[in-house]
Structure 1
Amino acid sequence: MSVNFQRVAYATLPVCNALGMADVEAAVSRTGLAPGARALDLGCAHAGVAIQLARRFALDFDAVDADGAMIELARERIDQAGVGDHVTLHHAWSGAFLADQSPYQLIVAIGVIEPVGAGVREPAAMMAGLSRRLTPGGWLLWGDLVWKGEPPAPLRQVIEANNLYADHTGWQAAARDAGLEVVSAGLSDDATWARYLAAMDAAVRDWTAANPDRPETPAIAARGDQVRSLFAFGRDYLDFGLYLLRRPES
């Protein structure tokens, strides 16, 4: 079994971000997609979202992630859930995978690093790239970190090591700049954030205590300390937003 921080920290989370599954389901329910609609979950992590949406709405998902340890966990969970007929797992980078695919009726992109390819990091550019992979009238469910206000420069540098982020209004403006309609937009509440951070911290502490001699343990423990410190300081500047966006019919 491959183990890294992500696999350990996210193991007990329904969604691998500061976001509730009920909010994800509520957004997708607004799409009115029929059973069998073609869907994609980019950066699927342990595939919890794809599994639940396949169960709830009978959508047919491609679930994509580049992390080998998370792919192993996702495969276990798909098998355990018995949704292998509706969720197909792919070990790949998002941009490379998308380049070979026909358009989707729904794309889920929650907390994805460079979802349309290396170097594309600006909000409107990422959304425009995903919009081009949607059918006319197709849906993008976008979730990501949101700046509450201007953060200290060191915090911005750390948080934006992979993607660039916007405030709540900025994400919606980026969607419109990409030619997408904003159907719904919301922010996670404090209770959701508290559950997310506590679950990650407990999972890392429990795993490292139970596995003191594994070679991965020091790095996982150190990363857990880094994440705890980052959010202890950065939470005052950060929210998490979920945006249901639609590509126009023409």
Structure 2
Amino acid sequence: MDIPRIFNITESAHRIHNPFTPEKLATLGAALRLEPGTRVLDLGSGSGEMLCTWARDYGISGAGIDMSQLFTEQAKLRADELGVADRVEFIHGDAAGYVADEKVGVAACIGATWIGGGVVGAIELLAKSLRTGGIILIGEPYWLQLPPTEEVAKGCRAGSISDFLLLPELLASFGNLDYDVVEMVLADHDSWDRYEAAKWLTMRRWLETNPDDDFAKDVRAELTSAPERYATYTREYLGWGVFALMSR
């Protein structure tokens, strides 16, 4: 069980696998007013930066589940590095359908709502692990402006324009599911740059050390096209944020 190899390569040096900086991740933790001892479930936990730094800074505990074997191992190393391995656990596995044995105060799916077939399914899945009065965190893209054509949407790595909503529509959709939006922290151009541009040096270094790998042509094609595609499409049209929801 693993994610597509291209992601394990391009994001192998990332600690945060979304367009968030460490500062924004800390802002989110502070915005949630996390109490020491709060238990957090993170479905699609990547390299574990959210759980590890929140355990260090806010005294939370919890578990993360991710399909990437590489990222899960990196998360365990990060927990050891920050001295929080006794408070956070990382599981290599499929987060789709995962329900915690113990109800949690925060249930998160940050940038991986596909595990529930989309936002609605992800919220329904997270709610199964949430204690009464707890908070659901959803990390999701939205359109900064509607792409003028389907080709532009595909340039943003969306399947079509209909894949995402404008921010007001996304916020309204949570209300339609009978949830209050109680906080949000949004990506900006700088955090997007840090997420996307960091991949380019990683790919170049990987190509230098793996010139004969059968996958090298795919990595070379991605590195050649990614900077222009990102600047033309994603940076101009696609937003991303984490939204905190509480059931009404």
Q: Same fold (TM over 0.5)?
A: yes
Q: For residue 110 of structure 1, what is the aligned residue in structure 2?
A: 110
Q: How far is 1:205 from its partner? A: 1.2
Match of 2:131 among 125, 128, 135: 135
Cα distance between partner residues in 1 of 2:48 and 2:29: 16
Q: How far is 1:52 from its partner? A: 1.0
Cα distance between partner residues in 2 of 1:179 and 1:115: 21
* Cα offsets for 1:116-168 (capped at 9, x unmatched): 3xxx22x334324323432111112222211123222134454148x942221
Shift of the 227–178 alpha-carbon distance from structure 1 to 2, 3 Å rule, reads farther
1:83-98 correspondence to structure 2 within 5 Å: 83-98=84-99
Q: How far is 1:37 from its partner? A: 1.5
**1:38 touches 1:60 (CA, 8 Å); kept in 2?**
yes
Q: How far is 1:230 from its partner? A: 4.0
Q: For residue 49 of structure 1, what is the aligned residue in structure 2?
A: 50
Q: Which amino acid aligns with 1:239?
A: G
Unaligned 5+ runs, structure 1? none
Shift of the 229–182 alpha-carbon distance from structure 1 to 2, 3 Å rule, reads same
Task: Give the secondary-structure state (helix, strand or coil) at the position aligned to 1:185.
Answer: strand
Q: Which amino acid aligns with 1:210?
A: T
Do residues 179 (structure 1) and 175 (structure 2) align?
no
Q: How far is 1:115 from its partner? A: 3.1
Cα distance between partner residues in 1 of 2:123 and 2:163: 12
**2:28 touches 2:185 (CA, 8 Å); kept in 1?**
no
Match of 2:151 among 140, 150, 154: 154
**2:21 touches 2:194 (CA, 8 Å); kept in 1?**
no
Moved more, 225-234 or 77-86: 225-234
Shift of the 160–128 alpha-carbon distance from structure 1 to 2, 3 Å rule, reads farther
Unaligned 5+ runs, structure 2? none
Q: How far is 1:78 from its partner? A: 2.7
Q: Which amino acid aligns with 2:11?
A: Y
Q: For residue 5 of structure 1, what is the aligned residue in structure 2?
A: 6
Aligned length: 241
Shift of the 11–69 alpha-carbon distance from structure 1 to 2, 3 Å rule, reads closer
* Cα offsets for 1:190-221 (capped at 9, x unmatched): 22222222211112112222332344433333
1:1-250 correspondence to structure 2 within 5 Å: 4-98=5-99, 101-116=101-116, 120-121=117-118, 123-151=119-147, 152-156=149-153, 158-160=157-159, 164-225=163-224, 227-235=226-234, 236-248=236-248
Q: How far is 1:103 from its partner? A: 2.7
**C-alpha RMSD over aligned residues:** 2.7
Shift of the 246–23 alpha-carbon distance from structure 1 to 2, 3 Å rule, reads farther
Cα distance between partner residues in 2 of 1:102 and 1:160: 36
**1:103 touches 1:134 (CA, 8 Å); kept in 2?**
yes
Q: Which amino acid aligns with 1:240?
A: W
Cα distance between partner residues in 2 of 1:179 and 1:131: 12
Cα distance between partner residues in 1 of 2:237 and 2:219: 25
Cα distance between partner residues in 1 of 2:159 and 2:101: 28
Q: Which amino acid aligns with 1:205?
A: R
Cα distance between partner residues in 1 of 2:69 and 2:225: 22
What TM-score do the two structures reach when normalised by structure 2? 0.83
Cα distance between partner residues in 1 of 2:83 and 2:196: 29
What TM-score do the two structures reach when normalised by structure 1? 0.83
Q: Which amino acid aligns with 1:179?
A: D
Shift of the 142–224 alpha-carbon distance from structure 1 to 2, 3 Å rule, reads farther
Cα distance between partner residues in 2 of 1:205 and 1:228: 13
Moved more, 220-229 or 170-179: 220-229
Cα distance between partner residues in 2 of 1:214 and 1:246: 48
Moved more, 54-63 or 190-199: 190-199
**1:168 touches 1:241 (CA, 8 Å); kept in 2?**
no
Q: How far is 1:70 from its partner? A: 2.1
